[in-house]
Structure 1
Amino acid sequence: MFSGLSSFIYYSSITAISRSLHVSVELINLTITSYQAVSGIAPSILGDLADQSGRRPVCLIAFTLYFSANLGLALQNSYTALVALRCLQSAGASSTIAIAYGFIADIAPPAERGSYVGILQGFTNSAPSLGPILGGVLSETLSWHWIFWLLSIMSGLNLLILSLIMPETSRKIVCNGSIRPPSLINRPLFPNLVSSASRRGDAEVARKRKIQFPNSLTCLITLWQRASFLVILVGGIQYTVYGCLAASFSTLMIRLYSLNYLTGGLIYLPCGVGGVLAAYTTGKLLNRDYVRTAKRYNLPVDKSTNDLSNFPIEQARLLSVFPLLAISTTATVGFGWALNQHTFIAVPLTLTFFSGASQVAIFTICGTLLTDLNPNQSATVQAGYNLIRCALSAGGIAGLQALIDAVGVGWCFTIYASIGALCIPMFVLLRSHGMQWRTGSHGPHHCAARTEESSQNPRV
């Protein structure tokens, strides 16, 4: 939640900060650019480190950076310090999502993983709705400094809780939780709150692993995997459309409907509420689709393993994605033409609810499938995903106003929706060939035959 909250809570206070520091709005906008640039790079470093050294130490490092940056931002009154500390804030906050996917890959088997990713996406997508409202209220009633005081209090409390009770979950270090980590930083301060499996394994201590210097380019290696590349590309395209819609809220809608800063923050609510509801619902739907696919091909639903070598996970995760793509495309086109015709404000807001819900549902599917395809490098691959989607989104948002000026707002979002519709043939290709790329088998029927043969022949 902290990554999106730190970004969106800042938007409504841009004018107040520029006046307080006696700089132009354009210079304050540079702090947003630097924040986004660091948020695309930092996870590729800390994500790789989390896959090597464990989730707990890297998570503590990220939140220590984030808390320190928020505290400095609350106390400073210098533009130079603002830019530097916003970069530090971004480095800590943006890495938490990749680390969170690492935790999910460790503790959640594929049969239940959808619900965990749904909860994660629910928190992630609540931030863009809450952020502008909180920022607007704090800037109006207290001071823009209180934005960072609030983030300091929240992140400091979170850091304290994580330090006390968060166990190490990396299977490279603790296996299934039965092995005690060798390093003190990988152990919680209150080990009694750890599962009984960890307490039983206190006599067995994991061997110390050699940790290499984190390489920010490691996450790009996953792009050579065809299935992972398609998932990342689809997620990046949908995130670009989502970002362009969100960017238009604070520019087009405020100007067209003459909104003030507070109501300008409230217009983010329909999209955010739709995203939170869709994330939770899609997580449950993914679990159901997993069971349905297993029954279809007469495969066991084993909640004790991450092994998907005999399971058509691509078909299971993409079972319900095509109606979501249709809703996303239709709502995006409708939003553009509603603004073009300057309809009653309830029309575009309703359409943002459906576009936000469908796009967040697609994000949940992509995030879950990407974790399924890379269970041993989940944090690293999510960092690569974050890097690509940030780059695509930045390009899409950069060209948004120029495209609106050239063809009008209606045709602009029709073009963006058409680009989003290109995800349909990519998903069709992934459903039909994904398992063959991953395992070399010719499909789930072959897997079912292999599973049956294995159960009948112990040697196999």
Structure 2
Amino acid sequence: YSIFNRKERLLLVFLGTFAAFLSPLTANVYYPAIVELSHEFHVSTDLINLTITVYLILQGLAPTFIGSISDVIGRRPAYMICFMVYFAANVGLALQNSFAGLMVLRCIQSAGSSGTLTLANALVADLATSSERGSYMGYATLGAFFGQAVGPLIGGLLNAALGWRSIFWFLVIFSATVFLIFIIVVPETCRAVVGNGSIPPQKWNISVLGYLTGRRFLQPNPSIPVPESPRAPRRPINLLGTVQIMFSKGAGCILLYTGFLFGGFYTQIAMVPVNFTEHFGFNSRQIGLCYLPFGLGCMAAALATGKAMDWNFQRIAKKLNYPIVPGQQNDLSKFPIEMARIQIVIPLAFLGCVTVVMYGWMFHLTKSLAAPLVLLFFLGFSLIGAFTAFSTLLVDFYPDSPGTATAAANLLRCWMGAGAVAFIGPLQAKIGSGFACVAVAICWILSSPLLWIVWKHGPAWREERRIKAE
């Protein structure tokens, strides 16, 4: 399936997750400065929250183009586009002096950073078979959720020490560093361009080290003779591919449920500054620290869920006498991959419903700081664990266009998240945090039958797509 051995694949996935760190870092580094920005531009915090809404709208839209481009011309060119747009937007944000400028440049910043998470998942599809994809997907999303953990902390420290502009100058320096690493080191992995890695890419698509050494920086394992693999079928860039996946059977149900899940997810992280300022009188530095348990829960979920998915895949394969050949892609036409992934999601979704209700009421029932922080950890663990499993299932559904499939998930969850963030502030002001969180849990419960539908009908729908593609 891939000429790269395990260590080389882990290195590539690590670099992909290092780049994916940019997207959640950019979103979360901003939260501790919300109150200061409202004072700076003389607007309400609800208006500043609108910059989060437009950020999420573009975060959903931009990967639809990047994912489709990367599936056809390669991962490296798509990464370069993301980095250049992102770098320019951060320079503009650090220099601008108006609320309108903040709003517009946050949109451009989102367009640049959001594609990196989509590309990290596509990188996993290039390198890992379905039997080991869970663990690699966990590694790929680890950096993204590390951004959930340290983004608010970095933002809080920078804002308190140097002011809100220093946040964007930090992002300028960090993105430039990652950009250089990718230009110098990372080879092309897209299967439509290089097959299993044995076919040379276009000359303009070779890393700097590839030019300097006259070969790929990462070499195939010399002890294993690997014949040259044909490229995956080349297709024209289909900018409507994301929409087609959103309205397809099976994938559409998964995407809709993920949208509801992440709508609730974004409402909770957006309201952390308000909740902890009102109830504990925290400043931006202290609010940044409050995000740390949430981010740590996200990181733990990415690793634990990945391992659990691989374990469950192998358990079901053994039960069904389904052969697994290491290093080769498995034929999933007769394998219940929907069941294997959704079995991991169900307990996580239940934990998320219970946790979000407890978290909302905890501010009214106790003055303890530890209680909401512990619940933030479990909230992050449950929601991101479920999201990791869904992301893996989408790649299983569309192994030849993983960038487009991941972009479809990104589009729906971000747009539904944007609507939820715009709605949660006025709702919580009217009915309180406890009932607002109950409303979130009810939405999750009412949308849960979508999981049963995919579990029951998913294999038949997947076979329909396979026959239609042939």
TM-score by length of 2: 0.85
1:48 maps to 68
Question: Could you tell me how far apart the structure 1 residues matched to 2:278 and 2:205 are?
Answer: 51
2:390 maps to 366
Contact 2:71/2:403 (CA < 8 Å) preserved in 1?
yes
Question: Could you tell me how far apart the structure 1 residues matched to 2:463 and 2:206 are?
Answer: 36
Offset, 1:134: 1.0
Contact 1:101/1:378 (CA < 8 Å) preserved in 2?
yes
Aligned runs of 1:40-439 on 2, under 5 Å?
40-77=60-97, 81-181=101-201, 183-191=202-210, 192-196=216-220, 211-212=236-237, 215=239, 217-302=240-325, 303-305=327-329, 307-439=331-463
Question: Could you tell me how far apart the structure 1 residues matched to 2:173 and 2:230 are?
Answer: 36
Offset, 1:19: 5.6
Question: Could you tell me how far apart the structure 1 residues matched to 2:257 and 2:448 are?
Answer: 9
Letter in 2 for 1:170: C
Asked which structure has the greater CA Rg, the reply is 1
Contact 2:344/2:389 (CA < 8 Å) preserved in 1?
no
Greater Cα shift, 276-285 or 406-415: 406-415
Contact 1:340/1:408 (CA < 8 Å) preserved in 2?
no
Contact 1:180/1:206 (CA < 8 Å) preserved in 2?
no
2:56 maps to 36
Contact 1:14/1:25 (CA < 8 Å) preserved in 2?
no
Question: Could you tell me how far apart the structure 2 residues matched to 1:85 and 1:175 are?
Answer: 38
Question: Could you tell me how far apart the structure 2 residues matched to 1:24 and 1:265 are?
Answer: 22
Offset, 1:227: 1.2
CA deviations 1:44-68 (Å, max 9, x no partner) are: 1111111121111111111121122
Question: Could you tell me how far apart the structure 2 residues matched to 1:80 and 1:439 are?
Answer: 49
Question: Could you tell me how far apart the structure 2 residues matched to 1:364 and 1:257 are?
Answer: 33
Offset, 1:406: 4.3
Letter in 1 for 2:22: F
Offset, 1:294: 0.5
2:213 maps to none
Question: Could you tell me how far apart the structure 2 residues matched to 1:354 and 1:210 are?
Answer: 42
Letter in 2 for 1:283: G
Letter in 2 for 1:187: I
Offset, 1:425: 2.4
Cα distance change, pair 295–159 in 1 and its aligned pair in 2 (3 A): same
CA deviations 1:325-351 (Å, max 9, x no partner) are: 221111111112212324422222212
Cα distance change, pair 208–363 in 1 and its aligned pair in 2 (3 A): closer
Offset, 1:320: 2.5
Secondary structure of 2:133's aligned partner: helix
Letter in 2 for 1:428: W
Cα distance change, pair 418–49 in 1 and its aligned pair in 2 (3 A): same
Query: In angstroms, what is the RMSD of aligned CA positions?
Result: 2.8
Question: Could you tell me how far apart the structure 2 residues matched to 1:425 and 1:173 are?
Answer: 39
Letter in 2 for 1:289: N
Contact 2:49/2:422 (CA < 8 Å) preserved in 1?
no
Cα distance change, pair 207–13 in 1 and its aligned pair in 2 (3 A): closer
Offset, 1:429: 2.3
Aligned residues: 437
CA deviations 1:387-422 (Å, max 9, x no partner) are: 111121122222223333444332221221122123
Letter in 2 for 1:156: A
Greater Cα shift, 165-174 or 118-127: 118-127
Secondary structure of 1:194's aligned partner: coil
Letter in 2 for 1:374: Y
Cα distance change, pair 76–165 in 1 and its aligned pair in 2 (3 A): same
Cα distance change, pair 349–440 in 1 and its aligned pair in 2 (3 A): same
Structure 1: gaps of 5 or more residues:
442-460
Contact 1:177/1:197 (CA < 8 Å) preserved in 2?
no
TM-score by length of 1: 0.87
Question: Could you tell me how far apart the structure 2 residues matched to 1:368 and 1:207 are?
Answer: 20
Offset, 1:219: 0.4
Contact 2:195/2:229 (CA < 8 Å) preserved in 1?
no
Question: Could you tell me how far apart the structure 1 residues matched to 2:256 and 2:120 are?
Answer: 21
Greater Cα shift, 256-265 or 50-59: 256-265
Aligned runs of 1:447-458 on 2, under 5 Å?
none
Greater Cα shift, 33-42 or 150-159: 33-42
Cα distance change, pair 205–227 in 1 and its aligned pair in 2 (3 A): closer
Contact 1:180/1:201 (CA < 8 Å) preserved in 2?
no
Letter in 1 for 2:207: P
Secondary structure of 1:166's aligned partner: coil
Offset, 1:145: 2.6
Letter in 1 for 2:398: N
Greater Cα shift, 169-178 or 143-152: 143-152
Question: Could you tell me how far apart the structure 2 residues matched to 1:206 and 1:359 are?
Answer: 36
